[in-house]
Amino acid sequence: MSVAVAQEEREFHLDDKEFRYLADLVKKQTGIVLADHKKNMVYSRLVRRLRALQLAGFDEYCALLESKRSNHEMGMFINAITTNLTRFFREPHHFDHLAEQLKTQFEDAPTATRIRIWSAGCSSGEEPYSIAMTAADSLPRLAAFDFRILATDLDTSMVSHASAGRYELRDSDGLSKVHLAKWTMRERGGNGFTVKPGLRERITFKQLNLLHEWPMKGKFDAIFCRNVMIYFDGPTKDRLLDRFADMLAPGGWLYIGHSETILEQRDRFTPMGKTIYRKAGS
């Protein structure tokens, strides 16, 4: 079936001008760059918004986003466009490395030692919960430390989902039987499980646009920002990496996605393994 025929059979028509408007708006709001080949993806993610709002076409949707009434819909628009793909202990070598560093740096640390980790782009929460499990497994004295994880995401619906800590059993891929038994509660007669409160209480979930101002003041010992920068152009990525470096404590670690590189930032970060970097000069 040709693209032209497929377009004709669609419920709505998304022309190049409307796509360009939406793509420019996404870049302005999030820094994510949508190339022309993402047009079908944009259509498939936004068509449900048009139906829900009972709009006649993308021209009306663009007009709504442009209007003063668009504050709520702007959030829904961003939520629909952003990608949320994750799993527990995704890219496990990162968690192996984190466990090793936590033991090395903090195993014999004094009581109340401050430890901070940021999951930047936490999606539905599997990443920060994996970080919390890794820390609890690595540091038997974790309860004695001032240990906190900040988990942020652009998508407000993902932040809400992650904060609840509830997942379907089909989402448990990556979790060992030990982790399931130790850190989760199985629903009676159901197909879901919930992360135990003792682990959830170590994590603060917040909505945050990485391109806007950051309210955090203290330094982080590690930052996870995985499979987020692939959507940014070069200058935007460079600015973000500079800000990450500024937010890391001396010797702090940055973990990025498997398809990402930051070789152009060697003055700020030193490569220490597969998609693992240490703040330079530490």
Residue tagged active-site, from 116, 153, 200, 226: 153
Residues 53 and 32 in one domain: yes
149: nearest Cα among 232, 218, 231 = 218
Neighbour tally for 118: CB within 10 Å: 27
Per-residue tokens: 237: 């990525």
Query: What average pLDDT does the segment 63-68 reach?
Result: 88
Residue 2's pLDDT band (boundaries 50, 70, 90)?
very low
Is 153 an annotated catalytic residue? yes
In this predicted model, what pLDDT tens digit does every residue of 87-104 receive, in sequence order?
A: 899 999 999 999 999 999
User: Does 76 share its domain with 187?
Assistant: no
Q: What CATH number corresponds to the domain at position 18?
A: 1.10.155.10
Q: How many CA atoms lie within 13 A of 4 on its CB side?
A: 0
Which of 132-141, 213-222, 257-266 is the least confident region?
Answer: 257-266
116 carries an active-site annotation: no
Contact yes or no for 232/33 (Cβ under 8 A) = yes
| Predicted pLDDT of residue 183 | 97
Q: Which residue has the higher pLDDT, 4 or 234?
A: 234
Q: Is residue 234 part of a domain?
A: yes
Q: What is the CATH number of the domain that holds 104?
A: 3.40.50.150
Q: What tens digit of pLDDT does each residue of 49-65 get? A: 999 999 999 999 999 99
| 96 neighbors 131 (Cβ within 8 angstroms) | no
Give domain status of residue 28, yes or no.
Answer: yes
Say if residue 131 is in the same domain as residue 72: no
247 and 218 in one domain?
yes
Per-residue pLDDT at 6: 47
Among residues 16, 20, 24, 45, the one annotated as catalytic is: 45
User: Domain check: are 125 and 228 in the same one?
Assistant: yes
For the chain, what is the mean pLDDT?
A: 90
Q: Which pLDDT belongs to residue 78?
A: 82
> What is the total count of domains within the chain?
2
∠ at Cα 77 (70, 75), nearest 5°? Answer: 65
Quick: pLDDT tens for 176-213.
Answer: 999 999 999 999 888 899 999 999 999 999 999 999 99
Same structural domain for residues 43 and 162?
no
